[in-house]
A and B are shown apart, each in its own frame.
Chain A
Amino acid sequence: MIDDKEIAPDLLDSISTWQVNRRKLLKAGLLAGAMTQINLFTSCSTELKSNNDVLNAQQSLVLETTLNVLFPDDGNGPSADDINAFGYFIWAIQDDLNRKQEANTFIIDGLDWVNKKAIQLKQTNFYSIPANHRTAFIDEMVKTKYGKKWVSAMVTLLFEALLLDPLYGGNKEEKGWKWLNHTPGFPRPTEELRYEVLMKKQLKIKQ
């Protein structure tokens, strides 16, 4: 059984490593500019899954597995992999211009939480649960207050990965728009007019 009152995940040993890595990434991002980072997030999702500075290896595996449960390859439109949802998530959760930083932290904490629950209830990592049992496991997670909130936050980011401009790494080859017969607004954003550029103007950060 899942304890509904347990809403805060335990810290994993790797969290301190992750924090150090994240700080390194953010520092690098500030030095290099977010635009150089986005190339990484859009172009090499496979490499990101095995090696990124935002999540540790276990978190990356949990994220990849969760995304394909929440947005599966089921013959109805693109899957999470098809739209590069993983790459989009990695960009989104390291975005320190996002005014809702706690939302980013919450996503990462939830990855640890869901895996801890898998070990507790299934005696294995979440990503090692047989594929045909993973949805049922998420169904159980969603019965808890924390689990429902976390899955809801994941779905919101998935919507962004599916429907925002491909400029931000998701919606690869406009697969989300094409699937839903959506016509975007015009003109579309460009690299020079990414949201970070405008947000820095709003926050009076010199560029």
Chain B
Amino acid sequence: MTGKRLGFISALILAGMCILPLGLGIYPQHVLIVSLFYVMMASSWNLLAGYTGQVSFGHAAMAGIGAYTSGILAVKAGIDPWIGVCAGTAIAALLGLGLGALCLKMGGIYLSLTTLAFSQILHIVIVNEYDVTRGTMGLQVPGLMAEYSKITYYYIMLAAAVLTLAILYRMIHSNLGLNFRAVQNDEVAAKSIGVKVLQVRVLAFTVASAMAGFAGGLYGHYLLLITPEIPSLDLQFNVLAMTVIGGMGSFIGPVIGAFALNILAEKIRDYGEYHVLVFGLVALVVARFAPNGLLGIWRRFRTRPHARSSNRLQD
């Protein structure tokens, strides 16, 4: 896809997203805002799993770090939520840097194990430190603006999601992005042509953690109540399922996955709390039989008749 055409389509979609909530009620607006949160989470997780081949199970924990940092600063020190969100992003980035540097030199499995342990420990700490975090009761935090308005939150989340996606797009389509891919495909070969494998991996993990912290901070101030549900394995699973089902390793796949699954989850919720089970089974089948997700299936379907002449796979 040429740059011009891509820019045109993006602008069109963005314009559509700006108009979309105007005619909708409060509830659909809420669903869209949550979807945008998941777009940020899934896209940044995709930077790890899809582009550098590292599976982190602590992405939701990083969102929790962002949310709780900002929330605690606002409640205990009266700091402005916007500054709090920035602080949360920074702390998530620092933790990402630390965890990444600690376990990535030992290889991918260690990152998965350590991030899983990290998210569990964070959960335990939050539940136990009742005085600071209000445990499972949840921490009541102030909103981002003085007056609560769904539509304003929608535009804030939309802007944040666009910012996140733009940064990710620039990164992936730069030299750095090539390094990411090289590290994912063949670590030894990448090392042999001078790619600093460890630094590239740690950098990707730090950036993704910062993005999760940013998304979590905004999300917490939207919900006005931060609970241990944010840094939970269930949320982590949602992010993973959205990315896997949407299409891991493609830019747009996680975005589609986030919207599709989040809206679908609301529909399934009418019948009971089955959506996690349903998504799990679907994600198992997709990860097993179509590792490039729905987007991969669609692309294969589209490119088959003129596979040779098409270069769509490279967009």
Whether A and B are associated in the same complex: the answer reads no
List the interface of chain B (C-beta within 8 A of A): none
